Every structure is written in C-alpha cells, then in structure tokens.
A and B are shown apart, each in its own frame.
Chain A
Amino acid sequence: MLLLLVAAGCVGNPEPPESRLVVEGVIPTGGYPVVTLSRSITPSGGGGALEDALVRWGKVTISDGDTTVILTGGPDSSQLPPYSYYSYGIRGEAGRTYVMEAEYGENRVRSISRMMSPTPVDSINVSRIEGNDTLRRAVLWFTAPDDCPAYYVVRLRKSRSKMHLMPCLFGTVAATQPGVAASVPVFMPKMKFAEDHYDSDLHVGDTLEIALSRVERDVYDFWRAYSNVVVSSSGADFLGAPPNLPGNITGGYGIWGAEAHSLRTLIVR
C-alpha cells in the first residue's frame, strides 16, 4: 500500500523551461526609443553570472506605421544588463502606436503600445523628515485629465547621471475622476544591483529629473506589479510566491511602453 502511495505521489521532473527574450523598452514623447534586450536564465542552486542573460547581437525594430527603424546596440553601464539598443531615427509622438519587434536566434517577440497625451505636473511638494536634516520626502500632484481613466508611472533620475529615467518604487497611480487632484509619492527607484541598502528618501542637494508618464493600462499593471514583486521578495518570502509579472511582450517577458512624459526638474532643498 505504501509503495502504491509513493508511486501515486511521484511526478516526473518537468523539462526546464526554455530561455525567452526579455524586453524592457520605452519610447517617450519627444524622445527616442531605448530597449534593453536580454534572455531569461534557468537558475542553479549555486548561483551564477547575470552576464549570461545579455543579448548583444539581437535585432530590434521600432515602427510607428510610417517609419521603421532598426535600433543599434551598445554598452550601457547605467543598467543591468549593461547593454541597450537605441535609435535617433524615430521620436515619440502622442496619438501614435509603436510596434516593437525583437529577434535573437530562434526567438522572436513583439509588442504594441499606444502613446497617450501627457498630463502636466501641477506641483511637487517636498517635506522635511523629522529629525533628519539631509533627507526629504516628495509628493507629485497633478489634475486628472478629461479622458479618464488614466494610468501613470513616475520615473526619476539624478541630473547629469548616466542613468535612464527609472520607475520609482510604488510610483504608479490611476486617476479615475476627471478634474480631480491626484497625487503619488516620489520614492527613489529601487535597483537591487546598485546598492545593498535601499534608501527611499531624496537627498538634500540632489537635482532630480522627475517624469509623470501617462501609459496604457497594461504598462501600468506591469509596473504596479513590479513594485509589489520587488518589495515582496525582499526576504519576507514566507508570505508565499507571488504570481508571475504580467507583461505585454508576445513570446517573451517584460514590457514595451510608449510613455507620455511630463518632465520636471527638482532641486532638493
């Protein structure tokens, strides 16, 4: 009987899933597309190098229906993996739809994203943190547009840094009522590889570029779940495995977003 149960409980080891292309791409209004292309890797218990994920010889094309460009790859030390694809042959324009296609070896992925109209930033309120003279907290305010619901991602980078505008932790917000003042906190982006200790607050003296990016719902859903995953996997894993991240990449992982940027520069005082 025990043997029968043991047999009943056995399931064969499934084949490890095949590596898939991973896209992190954005085209902002008035700006140029930047795409990071990598591969997913099958982890081993002993760990391994993330460089294995790098895709240097992929082909990435962007099309807005009138113009199609092939992006050029090159080293990019501001991110991981340290390589990105870019082009100055096409610029983001509100109302247009952008098709991204990428291929590497046998793998092909595709995604479509429509550029919304940007929503102006009304203000960014900076407040002191009690008992700390060097750190500040900020809240970005805007007025919900007439064509609600509208979805937003807040991005940030330090001026004159090599970093791209990175999504802020918990920097997603949905506006549902037209004309209503809406707000979202501005926390520093969380990049695990860049620092061991994460500090969410803004440092006095820093000059920051902050973008309120209006996006389509699928892009918003991705970055919202992304914050959730980044925080949930901070060590509190006894809370269980979160669901897999959503995405809009057919045949692969990740996100391709046409983002309607409204950019502000903030000097933290």
Chain B
Amino acid sequence: MGLMLLCNVEAYGQQPSVPDTVSSLEEVVVSTRRSPVGFSDDGNVDINLSRLSGLGGMFGETDVVNMLKKLPGVTSLSDMGSGLSVDGADFSQTSFEIDGVPVYFPYRLGGVFSAFNTWHFQRVSFERSPFSGASPARLGSRVGFHTYEKPAAETFTGRGSVGLLSSSLALRVFPSEKISLSGAARISYINQIYGKMLKVNDSRIATDFCDLNLTLIWRPDPGNTVTANGFMSRDVAEYGSSSYNGDLDIRWFNRQVSLAWRHTGRVDMSHRIYFTDFRNALRVGLMDVRMRAPSALENAGVSSEFVFPAIKGMADLVAGYSFNYYMLTPLWCESSGFGQDMEPVRNVQDCYDGKIFGDAGFQVDENLRLGFSVSGYIWKNGSYHRVDASPRLSLKLRFGSWSLAASGGVNHQYLHRIGFSEIGLASDFWFGASESSGPQLSAGGGVELSHRLPFGLTAAVSVYCRKVCGQPEYDGMIFDLIDREYDSMAHVLESDGYNAGAAISIRRESGRLTGMASYGYGVARRKYSGSDSWHYGATDPGHSLTISAEYAIDPRWTIGADFMLNSGRRYTPVEQLYMIGGNIISVYGGRNSAQLPPYHRLDLSAVFKIPPCGRNGRIRQSLSLGLLNAYGHRNVDARYFFIDSETGEYRQRDQSSLFRFLPSVSYILSF
C-alpha cells in the first residue's frame, strides 16, 4: 500500500514470562517490519520488494509503478492514461528496465497495474534524474526492476494471490546451491467481473492482460553469476460506442530475453546480451471499414560495465559501453471496406546506437562527495548519423541533520514515441531520430535539500529546471490512416521549451503510523520550432498534493489510505462551434491551453494477516481488501460538445474516467 514505510519492530509468537530461573526456550520467532522504501539524499528511491511480502496492496497486487505515482512530481495525468511523467517530462522519456534491459511500454489501461509482477523481483530503483552513464539515452527518469542476485537458502518458495481483478503465482525453486529458477505469471479477468462498471456514457470499455517472467540464476562459484531472463506481457483494450456501429481495440505486447554474466574480482564486471521488443496494433472498425495500424520496436543489444578498484581519494570509477540495433516500424495501416484495396505503405527504420561512458566519484571528505560522468553516443538511422556527448555533474553534502544533493547535465534521446493519444495510449509508436526529426535534448538539473526532524520525520524540498529541445508531437487524425499517401512521419511536430518545478514533502518512516505528504508545482512549456508562441506541454504537471498514510493496528491488521489531488490534465479546448452537413464542428484553440477539472481520488485498503502455519510458520496467508476511488468521484478524462437530437441544442459532455467505486478482495498465500 503506497509508500508505506513500516519500520516498527515487533516481536510476537511465544511470549516469554519473567522467569525466576534461567531456562531455555525451544523456539523464538522474531518478526521485524522494516521500511521497504529507502530514500536517498538526491531524491532517488530504492524499494526492497521482498519486504512487501506481507502487504497485498490494491487488488492483491502491490504495483510499484503505482507506488511511484505517489512521489512528488510523478504523475500519469489520467485514469485512462498509460505513462509515468516525472517532473513534467514526456512519458517516453521515462525508461523502464528489467536487469538493465529496456521494456518499452510497461503500462496497462486504467493505471491499476503495470506490466511488472512485483513478486518476481527483489528490488526496484527509481532514479529521478539519472547520473550514471550506464543509464539509457533518455531525458527523464529511470525505473529499474532487479531480479534476485543469487540463489537463496530455501529450496522452494512461492506466493500466490487470487483477486477479483487478477490472479498471480510466483515461485522460486533451488535445485542446488548454485542454481535457482524463478517464475511469475499473472492473468486478469477484469471484463468478466467489472465489465458493467467500465461503461462510460454510451461507450463500452474492456481490458484484459497477462504476463510472465522467468529467471534462471547459475552461480558456478562465488565470483561469477550467470542470469538468464525472459519476460512477456500481453494486453488488449477495446472501446465500443453504441451510438455508432464502431469499435476500436488496441493490442500490445512486450517481450524480452537476456543473458547476463557478472564477475566479482579485482575488477567487477557485468556483461549483457539481450533482445527486447514492443509491438502494438490499433484496430478500428466502422461499418464495413476495417483498419489495422500496427507498429513495432525491436531492439537487440549488448552492454558491459566495469567497476574498477577504488583509487586513493577516488571513491569509485565505473566505465562501460553498449551497442544496440533497432528495427523500428512506425505506424502504418492496412485497411479494407473502402470499395477498393488499399496498398499499405510500410516504412522500416534500421537504426544503431553505440555508447561509451565513464563515471567517477570523489569522496572529498566524509560529508562531501562529487561525481562526474560523461557518455559519448553514436547514432545512425539510414544515412543520418550523429555523434554527441552527455556530461553530468553531481554533488552531495551533509551537515548535521541536513543534506543537500544537486545534479545537472546534458542528456540526449534518440528514440521518440508519439501517437494519436494525448494520454499515452498503447497505440503510440516509436521511431528513431532522423534528419527530419533530430534527437531530443535536455540541459539542466535539480537540487534537493532534506532535513531529519524529531519523531522519525524527514522533510525535503526540491527544485528542478531543465531546458528541452526537439520534443516530438503528433498532429495526425485517426482516419488519416485511410489515406493512400499516409505517412506517419509527415505528422510529426517538434517543440522546444522547459520543465521547471518545486516540491515539498514530509515523511515518517517508522512507527505504527507511517506515511508521506507532498505538494508540488511544476510547469512544462513548449513552443514550436520557428514560433514565438508558448503553449503548455501535454505533461504539464501543475499542482499535485498527495497524502499516503498507513496504520498498523496490530500484527494482523494494517489499514491504509491514499489521497491525490492534482491539477486537471491539459487539453486543447473548443473555442468555437459551427455547423456543417448537419453536424457540429469544433474550432480548437491553443494547444493544451485549457485544463480539465482537478483530479482527486481516495483509495482505501486493509490487509489482514492470518497467523502463519506450517513448519516454522512458513506458510503465510493474508486477505487484502481495497476500495479504489472510495467516494466515487467522476474524474473527467475528456470534454467535448455534441448536439442533443431531442432539443436541437448543443451540450457539453464530460467523459468520466474508467473507475468508480472499484472494490476488490484478494487472498494471498506465500511460503
């Protein structure tokens, strides 16, 4: 549940009485609840997922991506949206990785789950502003999911949950001390249970998904570890309108296989080879007209990192390289029902990137640490190629109970993602930097000041400002796809601008009552190339207030609540209406110049732990109860005008978000 920061240490089980004489106890069970979430001075977060085992979270799934949305400056903008915007950055600028291998679209419709099955991973790292050159070439944050690093002592562990939205099973098997095999699978049945609740006005929405993770760890000796990973996720979202003979569905897939070798010695090394891809297909049916618009990103790559022994006065030195091949298929379309066959035009981009990097950290004294990093990039897309460098600096300073962290630098991004949607739907597609649409660039940094207060409280203030260039936007319409000459690349606009903002937060990381409250304000402003007119970026964060609290009533019951109040999503408003052909036509105003009503939501949850049973209490069970959007507020996701056929008048219609009063109960078993 949220960023619940449980640190209270409790002992239960056998209660020793005060003896007159010393006697031996056969067994004492000590259960320690420690914080699964670690905050570092620079605003980065590390979540130890193995410590979440006793908490079911929403719907039996403690989704880490949703947990991150409760951090200041982190938002997905909309219930129906799919994405993670950090400090005003576009969705595509946040990178997701499994053991250092990219996952290109780990989102699900509705925002309840991400594609990551929490129980397969040992920990998650969130870098708000990545410093290391090992980070992928992205302008935004980095979210890394890390599998277990070595086989454990137990021979067989597992965890299963059965909920109203989905069920999942995660197992770890250790046939020998050197080998472990783990897997996690999850499948949803949202439509069967919640289908009727997903009706919006005269429209119907359906969504389902499944995912699978497999990991094999082989540790032939203490100095070498070989890890093989496999991952796939599949989603489908359908949209139908009863006032039209129309329907729309989006299907998307992520796949990934990787092999990594980690060597610990005089020079620590890790080498990785991988293949990862993302495919989607937007299908539109309207009367006889059928369109299928797929896109794909396929990425094969190798990477290595070398951690050199510390030199006197130098805390660490890391160097490495990566090389990637991308086969990118931007959106194209095959269609039928227009009376004649359409000849689809499909363009494929063959792209390559190479990177070398070096990070150096200097521990000047026990309170001051300086870091310097530089990455050199080579990018090639057909005949287009370029060479860039990204330097970065960081500073960490501690003085008493205060700490100050600052970082800044230049970043490049060569993979762009755009699409019809303003809320990051899976129909968005990737394409590579080219002559007509160069790389994205950001320059700037941030500062975080934190202070430890009494009663286990920590207060923090952060400020950021980054100039961004070459931000891609899409101005096409969905039925442009039927055009014989349709070229998705012809609808790309570029803008420059800046993201700036500040946040203040206070958190309590120990005790029976834990939680976090934060307020942030940010702006994301853009202007098109060659224009002097500013407009808001689609991910303009505005105001955000988040309060998460969790209370451990006793060792069995834990209750929690999360409240979010955010500025409404930016959208392009209708400024004028007129009639043509018996239909109402909208004249749109400035891009993203209006805001939907504020978004607010209260989620409630409770976890009841059934006393452990089995040998040594290995079998642990719990019940997770959840109520999403507890007061049933209809947050607005879209706004438009229509003609009321009964009165002949025009009316405004607000399209509500996906979920309202979404209750759930899950049973969780782990051993």
Contact = CB atoms under 8 A, between A and B. Distances in A.
A42 B576 contact: yes
A1 B644 contact: no
A42 B561 CA distance: 42
A266 to B, nearest CB: 15
A38 B243 contact: no
A17 B588 CA distance: 11
A16 B645 contact: no
B75 to A, nearest CB: 15
B202 interface: yes
B652 A185 contact: no
Contacts of B540: 9
B581 A45 contact: no
Question: Among A47, A53, A79, A227, which residue has the most Cβ atoms of chain B within 10 A?
Answer: A47
Given A200-B245, A228-B477, A238 B422 contact: yes
Contacts of B425: 238-239
A1 B463 contact: yes
Interface string A160-201: 000000110110011010000011110101111111111111
A203 interface: no
A231 B246 contact: yes
B402 interface: no
B523 A192 contact: no
A16 B575 contact: yes
B581 A167 contact: yes
Contacts of B241: 234-236
Contacts of B639: 237
Interface string A211-255: 000000000000011111111111111111111110000000111
Contacts of A240: 420-422, 572
Interface string B613-656: 00000000000000000000000011111111100111110010
Contacts of A173: 338-339
Nearest to B337: A185
Contact of B287 (A183, A184, A187): A187
Contacts of B244: 198, 231, 234-235
B500 interface: yes
B477 A6 contact: no
Given A80-B579, A197-B243, A236 B248 contact: yes
A2 B300 CA distance: 44
A23 to B, nearest CB: 9
A233 B644 contact: no
Nearest to A137: B288
A148 interface: no
A137 B245 CA distance: 14
Nearest to A54: B579
Nearest to B427: A239
Question: Among A50, A169, A176, which residue has the most Cβ atoms of chain B within 10 A?
Answer: A50
A203 B87 CA distance: 56
B581 A166 contact: yes
A185 B288 contact: yes
B648 A80 contact: yes
B423 interface: yes
Contacts of A6: 521
Contacts of B340: 182-184
A79 B643 CA distance: 13
B289 A24 contact: no
Given A2-B502, A5-B500, A228-B479, A238 B339 contact: no
Interface in B556-604: 571-572, 574-590, 593
Contacts of B388: none
Nearest to B572: A241
Contacts of B201: 235
B668 interface: no
Contacts of B582: 79-80, 166, 189-194
Contacts of A169: 287
A139 interface: yes
A122 B301 CA distance: 56
A140 to B, nearest CB: 7
A49 B649 contact: yes
Nearest to A186: B339
A5 B501 CA distance: 6
Nearest to B245: A200
B522 A47 contact: no
Interface string B543-555: 0000000000000
A195 B648 CA distance: 11
Nearest to A24: B580
A237 B422 CA distance: 10
A1 B340 CA distance: 61
Interface in B518-556: 521-523, 525, 534, 540, 542
Nearest to B646: A196
Contacts of A229: 477, 585-586
Contact of A40 (B202, B523, B578, B581): B578
Nearest to B534: A11
11 contacts: A9-B542, A48-B650, A49-B649, A170-B338, A184-B340, A185-B289, A189-B581, A189-B582, A228-B479, A236-B241, A239-B478
Given A24-B579, A190-B581, A235-B201, 5 more contacts: A14-B593, A22-B578, A41-B578, A51-B648, A196-B243
